[in-house]
Amino acid sequence: MGFILGVGRMNISSTRIDGTQNDPQILKGSRDATTIFGSIEVLSEPIQKGAATITPYTKLEAAYIDLDIYSEAGIWHWLMIVRKLSRR
């Protein structure tokens, strides 16, 4: 039997170029994120049936991520803002 559990915290920064070819705008944005993840696995004893061997195995994995609001700085009409997201 094996078990893994983890928690992570990160700051994600990005830079993108938007606008027209003659007037490109450099926009910088950032957001924080938190992740929780884990897995559990069970490996049973091998089962012998004649020349065949069967080894039962099962594994369960789960993850959760929470992304804070994403916002950019730059020329206002090119800015992107994304609301807070949480997913399992």
Rounded distance between C-alpha atoms, residue 23 and residue 4, angstroms = 50
Per-residue pLDDT tens over the stretch 18-56:
877 787 888 899 999 999 999 999 988 999 999 999 999
pLDDT tens digits for 52-66? 999 999 999 999 999
Looking at the chain, which runs of residues are DSSP E strands?
A: 2-19, 24-43, 47-49, 52-54, 57-67, 70-73, 81-82, 85-87
Query: 72: how many CB neighbours lie within 10 A of its CB?
Result: 20
Q: Which range, of 3-7, 10-14, 73-77, averages the lowest pLDDT? A: 73-77
Write down the domain spans for the chain.
2-87
pTM for the structure as a whole: 0.62
SS3 69: coil
Q: What is the pLDDT of residue 25?
A: 83
Q: Confirm if 77 and 37 have CB atoms less than 8 A apart.
A: no
